[in-house]
Amino acid sequence: MSEPTENYDVIIIGAGAAGLMCALTAGQRGRRVLLLEHNSAPGEKIRISGGGRCNFTNLDVRPDCFLSGNPHFAKSALSQYDQHDFIAMVERHGIAYHEKTLGQLFCDGSSREVIDMLLEECKKGRVDLKCAQHVTTVSQDSGDDNKEYLVETEKAIFKAPALVLATGGRSIPKMGASGFTYDIARQFDLNIIQPRPALVPLIADAQALGLDVSLSGISQPARASFERTHFDENILFTHKGLSGPAILQISSYWQDGEPIFLDLTPGTNMAETLRAAKIKHGKQRPKSVLSVYLPQRLAEALIDKFLPSEQMANIPDSKLDLLGNHINNWRIKPASSEGWVKAEVTSGGIDTAELSSKTMEVRNHPGLYIIGEAVDVTGWLGGYNFQWAWSSGWCAGQAV
Of 397, 347, 359, 388, residue with least CA distance to 62: 388
Q: What is the pLDDT of residue 1?
A: 47
pTM of the predicted protein model: 0.94
Please state, in angstroms and rounded to a whole number, the distance separating the CA atoms of residues 381 and 248.
7
Of 381, 386, 384, 374, residue with least CA distance to 13: 374
Q: Which long-range contacts (CB under 8 A, 24 or more apart) does 207-212 make?
A: 208/241, 208/332, 208/333, 208/334, 208/335, 209/241, 209/332, 210/305, 210/330, 210/332, 211/301, 211/302, 211/305, 212/301, 212/304, 212/305
Please state, in angstroms and rounded to a whole number, the distance separating the CA atoms of residues 37 and 45.
13
Please state, in angstroms and rounded to a whole number, the distance separating the CA atoms of residues 160 and 148.
5
Of 85, 83, 87, residue with least CA distance to 95: 87
Q: What is the pLDDT of residues 335-367, one digit of tens each?
A: 999 999 999 999 999 999 999 999 999 999 999
Q: Which domains does the chain have, with CATH numbers?
A: 6-197+344-399 (3.50.50.60), 202-337 (2.40.30.10)
**Low pLDDT (below 50) residues in the chain:** 1
Please state, in angstroms and rounded to a whole number, the distance separating the CA atoms of residues 68 and 353.
11
Which residues fall within 8 angstroms of residue 88, CB to CB, at 6 or more apart?
none
Q: What is the pLDDT of residue 372?
A: 98
Q: What is the pLDDT of residues 271-296, one digit of tens each?
A: 999 999 999 999 999 999 999 999 99
